[in-house]
């Protein structure tokens, strides 16, 4: 019924892919078979698994980046009215031609609500892809050119306190205005003396920008992109190295990382088929105009009666449960549907090809062709353009920028259909829910024997969190980018580490139900590979699901301390385990992670007072 969470880190396998086929049989055997390099560069790279004898190919997110995505197959353009451009402060209009790479026509703002690339600092990117920032100049980092003196000091902490002669580009910019000031005056003092200089933009230095290294503006490389004025207007390839960052490293992971419904392709039907009123309600695909611009949901749309209607008919992966049996994935080749939000909805006449969002909102997966004689359905990705403003809100075009060739599907192949945060939902019979929770907990050979002494709670969710240890407990590593203590690599930390002595009681932050216990027998001591391998990165860990959908994970728990097992209810503030140092840990601490239940991690600081 469920595929286990598969972690593939660069050099040691880091694709995250917890895939749930919700009405199917238990899948105890998952084995990596091979990694595909794509077909002559025209398809993305994939990794193939053997799941109880079934070959399942999934995108290899640690090998896919913007620079190696296949080129777009069609030309197009987005034209934004001048009045809107004035309100935005930049022009999100763009054109693209067939054969062009996605990094050259997709802007940072297009992914502000999905991949959230703006959370990167240039230094983060350089460490991930191995780029030497000392070889770059200010002209290489395009967004620098449209920064003003005022926007720079607002973006970079402490910059305004530096002597003006320590920031050579601003010094040269100000002296070009023929104003008089002391070389040792702080930037703040100069701007107070000459307020008009606040609007001076670095682009006024012209080609001379190439004469300044990145470190000529202290803190420039360390400051998150989102802090800079109009960061949204930057194209992906205008941020050095960003187009080489694997999707698996993006700050906001997408729903190959959550639960997805895995089905099987049954029969491919070509455009010779027509819409049939007797098939009403069978189509899963539609327009992504439900929900909100940040979290769109698919509104299923049947083919029009009597109109050409190509589609892929689906079935359950193992022929059990009727969750997907007979459902249809309509083809965008024959069906256009409504899409888009806000003023960007008018792009492409408000239309987009029918499809699904199995990996979140960054792109739509669309069936683009059908070869009925060979039983093959072709697929492509479609992006959308988005803008986010303080006064106008979040607006997105229909998913009309495409197609980018994606993995074709043959009859009888497994296919990722839905994620838990997408819509429509596949109906899950109630009698399966308990079995699903038990199987989630069982995946990976869990030791959930409750050796710490089982304690049942009331399971009542209050909607507010208590501290998992105690107020004032030292935070040894916050949520966000950090250099990992063991590997030394810079990666995004999806939780908060609370340092405490070994065995310190760990309390459930709210009432709920235990759905996973990875292990209760991983050692807290030693530096062997066996210690690091036991239970995975977090060693002994557990997940508690709350009634509001949130899932809280407690990691690095003490060996033998876990006092609950899957299916048990816990109360708010109930002691459920002890602080440990199991897994990839250099000392006793609790790694607490909050998951919204829809594929997204949240900062625990939003809910827990320090």
Residue 181, domain member (yes or no): yes
User: Same structural domain for residues 460 and 415?
Assistant: no
User: Same structural domain for residues 321 and 362?
Assistant: yes
**Cβ contacts of residue 431 below 8 Å, gap of 6+?**
none
User: Same structural domain for residues 451 and 593?
Assistant: yes
**Cβ contacts of residue 394 below 8 Å, gap of 6+?**
112, 113, 292, 293, 294, 341, 342, 386, 387, 388
CATH of the domain at 593: 2.70.70.10
User: Same structural domain for residues 285 and 244?
Assistant: no
pLDDT digits (tens, 9 = 90+) for 409-457: 999 888 887 654 444 444 444 443 444 344 333 333 334 456 545 788 9
User: Same structural domain for residues 218 and 280?
Assistant: no
Residue 554, domain member (yes or no): yes
User: Same structural domain for residues 377 and 462?
Assistant: no
Point out the domain boundary residue: 425, 455, 485. Answer: 425
User: Same structural domain for residues 291 and 415?
Assistant: yes
Residue 393, domain member (yes or no): yes
Residue 130, domain member (yes or no): yes
The whole-number pLDDT of residue 58 equals: 73
Out of 250-254, 342-346, 502-506, least confident range: 250-254
User: Same structural domain for residues 109 and 217?
Assistant: yes
Residue 176 confidence (pLDDT) above 60: yes
Task: Quote the number of domains for the chain.
Answer: 3
Residue 342, domain member (yes or no): yes
Residue 41, domain member (yes or no): no
Out of 42-51, 71-80, 232-241, least confident range: 42-51
Q: Read off the pLDDT band of 8 (50, 70, 90).
A: very low
Point out the domain boundary residue: 223, 249, 275. Answer: 249
Cis bond leading into 84, ω under 30°? no
Q: What domain range includes position 315?
A: 260-425
Contact assessment for residue 446 and residue 542, using Cβ atoms and an 8 Å cutoff: no
The whole-number pLDDT of residue 233 equals: 94
The two three-digit tokens of residue 254, written as one number: 């997408």
Residue 255, domain member (yes or no): no
Q: Read off the pLDDT of each residue in 329-352 and give the average, rounded to a whole number.
A: 93
The H or E element that residue 419 is part of is strand 414-419
User: Same structural domain for residues 181 and 282?
Assistant: no
| Residue whose structure tokens are 């090998």 | 63
User: Same structural domain for residues 418 and 449?
Assistant: no
Residue 103, domain member (yes or no): yes
User: Same structural domain for residues 367 and 345?
Assistant: yes
Q: Read off the pLDDT band of 207 (50, 70, 90).
A: very high
Residue 303 confidence (pLDDT) above 90: yes
User: Same structural domain for residues 504 and 592?
Assistant: yes
Cis bond leading into 486, ω under 30°? no
């Amino acid at each position: 019924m469920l595929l286990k969470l598969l972690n593939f880190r660069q050099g040691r396998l880091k694709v995250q892919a917890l895939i749930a086929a919700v009405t199917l049989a238990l899948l105890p055997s998952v084995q990596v078979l091979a990694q595909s390099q794509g077909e002559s560069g025209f398809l993305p790279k994939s990794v193939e698994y053997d799941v109880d004898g079934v070959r399942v190919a999934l995108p290899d997110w640690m090998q896919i980046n913007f620079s190696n995505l296949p080129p777009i197959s069609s030309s197009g353009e987005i034209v934004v009215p001048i009045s809107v451009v004035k309100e935005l402060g930049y022009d999100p209009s763009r054109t693209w031609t067939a054969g062009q790479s996605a990094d050259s026509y997709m802007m940072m703002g297009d992914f502000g609500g999905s991949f959230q690339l703006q959370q990167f600092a240039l230094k983060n990117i350089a460490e991930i892809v191995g780029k030497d920032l000392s070889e770059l100049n200010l002209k290489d980092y395009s967004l620098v050119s449209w920064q003003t003196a005022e926007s720079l000091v607002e973006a970079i902490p402490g910059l305004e306190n530096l002597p003006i002669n320590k920031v050579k580009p601003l010094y040269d910019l100000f002296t070009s205005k023929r104003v008089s000031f002391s070389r040792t005056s702080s930037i703040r003092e100069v701007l107070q003396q000459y307020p008009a200089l606040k609007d001076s933009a670095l682009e006024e230095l012209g080609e001379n920008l190439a004469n300044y290294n990145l470190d000529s503006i202290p803190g420039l490389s360390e400051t998150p992109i989102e802090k800079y004025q109009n960061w949204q207007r930057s194209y992906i390839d205008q941020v050095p190295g960003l187009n080489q960052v694997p999707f698996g490293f993006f700050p906001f992971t997408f729903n190959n990382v959550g639960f997805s419904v895995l089905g099987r392709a049954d029969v491919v039907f070509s455009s010779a088929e027509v819409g049939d009123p007797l098939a009403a309600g069978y189509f899963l695909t539609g327009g992504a105009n439900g929900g909100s611009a940040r979290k769109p949901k698919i509104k299923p749309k049947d083919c029009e009666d009597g109109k050409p209607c190509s589609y892929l008919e689906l079935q359950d992966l193992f022929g059990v449960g009727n969750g997907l049996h007979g459902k249809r994935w309509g083809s965008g080749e024959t069906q256009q549907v409504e899409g888009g939000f806000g003023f960007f909805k008018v792009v492409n006449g408000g239309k987009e090809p029918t499809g699904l969002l199995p990996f979140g909102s960054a792109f739509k997966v669309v069936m683009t062709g059908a070869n009925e004689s060979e039983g093959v359905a072709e697929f492509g990705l479609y992006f959308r353009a988005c803008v986010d403003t303080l006064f106008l809100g979040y607006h997105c075009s229909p998913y009309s920028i495409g197609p980018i060739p994606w993995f074709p599907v043959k009859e009888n192949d497994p296919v990722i259909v839905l994620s838990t945060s997408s819509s429509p939902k596949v109906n899950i019979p109630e009698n399966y829910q308990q079995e699903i929770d038990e199987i989630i907990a069982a995946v990976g050979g869990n030791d959930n024997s409750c050796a710490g002494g089982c304690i049942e709670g009331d399971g009542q969710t209050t909607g507010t969190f208590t501290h998992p240890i105690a107020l004032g407990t030292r935070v040894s590593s916050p949520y966000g980018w950090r250099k990992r203590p063991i590997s030394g690599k810079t990666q995004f930390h999806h939780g908060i580490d609370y340092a405490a002595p070994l065995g310190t009681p760990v309390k459930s932050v709210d009432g709920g139900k235990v759905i996973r216990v990875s292990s209760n027998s991983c050692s807290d001591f030693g530096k062997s590979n066996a210690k690091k391998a036991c239970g995975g990165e977090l060693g002994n860990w557990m997940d508690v699901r709350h009634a509001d959908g949130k899932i809280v994970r407690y990691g690095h728990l003490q060996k033998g301390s876990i006092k609950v097992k899957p299916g048990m209810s816990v109360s708010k503030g109930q002691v459920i385990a002890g602080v440990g140092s199991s897994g990839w840990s250099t000392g006793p601490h609790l790694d607490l992670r909050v998951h919204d239940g829809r594929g997204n991690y949240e900062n625990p600081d939003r809910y827990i007072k320090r």
